[in-house]
């Protein structure tokens, strides 16, 4: 089965048809799911921005980095999971169209790079967070924060743009 066939199969599922509003009473399903997706992503991006601004030394300077991280990240991951579930539902409505959409692809390039950035940060400079927990973060931590902020703005930018181009 080719990828195109797989996407067509997904689009033929009843739940995908419902997401397109083709089932009786589902005319408002997509807008509702999209709104829930937006609610979740505000928490994802908002909580990540809190962390990034702390890494940049701009905000929350009175909070230890590790403490803020422990407070915020459970919310980030929970909200991310919710956003991913609702995002997948929206994708299923027009799987083929979205898969071929440039902005959709760029969104996931940004998210992939953000994940990579996070991985490098956690396996790198964050392992020695104890040394800079209370004070000014080292340059590599600031870079990670700035990059993360930039990439997540990109995710939102391209994500919103998908809606204008499909």
Partner 1 sequence: MSAQNTSLRGWLTADVTTSPWQARIQRTYFGWRRLSSNPSTMFGLAVLLFTGLVQTVAEPVRQFVTPMFWAKMLMIILVATLTALYATAVRRNAALWDAASSRPWPAKIFAVLSTLLWLAIIVCGRFIGYTWSFYA
Binding site for partner 1 (CB under 8 A): 31, 34-35, 38-39, 42, 49-50, 53, 58-60, 62-63, 67-68, 70-72, 74-75
Question: In whole angstroms, how close is the CB of 71 to partner 1 at the nearest point?
Answer: 4
Of 49 and 106, which has the nearer Cβ to partner 1?
A: 49
Q: Please report how close the Cβ of residue 60 comes to partner 1 at its closest, in angstroms.
A: 6
Judged by CB, which is closer to partner 1: 51, or 147? 51
DSSP the chain: --HHHHHHHHHHSHHHHHHTT-STT-TTHHHHHHHHHHHHHHHHHHHHHHHHHHHTTSS-TTS-HHHHHHHHHHHHHHHHHHHHHHHHHHHHHTHHHHHH-HHHHHHHHHHHHHHHHHHHHHHTGGGGGGGTSSSPPPHHHHHHHHHHHHHHHHHHHHHHHHHHH-
Least distance CB 42 / partner 1 (angstroms): 7
Nearer CB in complex with partner 1: 12/58 = 58
Which one, 74 or 135, has the nearer CB to partner 1? 74
């Amino acid at each position: 089965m080719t990828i195109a066939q797989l996407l067509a199969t997904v689009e033929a599922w009843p739940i995908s048809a419902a997401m397109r509003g083709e089932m009786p009473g589902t005319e408002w399903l997509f807008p509702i799911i999209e709104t829930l997706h937006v609610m979740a992503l505000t928490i994802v991006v908002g909580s990540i921005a809190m962390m990034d601004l702390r890494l940049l030394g701009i905000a929350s300077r009175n909070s230890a980095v590790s403490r803020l991280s422990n407070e915020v990240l459970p919310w980030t991951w929970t909200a991310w999971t919710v956003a991913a579930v609702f995002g997948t539902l929206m994708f299923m409505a027009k799987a083929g169209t979205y898969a071929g959409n440039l902005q959709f692809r760029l969104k996931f390039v940004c998210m992939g790079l953000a994940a990579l950035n996070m991985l490098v940060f956690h396996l790198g400079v964050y392992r020695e967070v104890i040394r800079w927990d209370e004070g000014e973060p080292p340059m590599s931590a600031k870079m990670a924060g700035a990059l993360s902020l930039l990439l997540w703005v990109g995710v939102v930018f391209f994500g919103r743009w998908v809606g204008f181009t499909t």
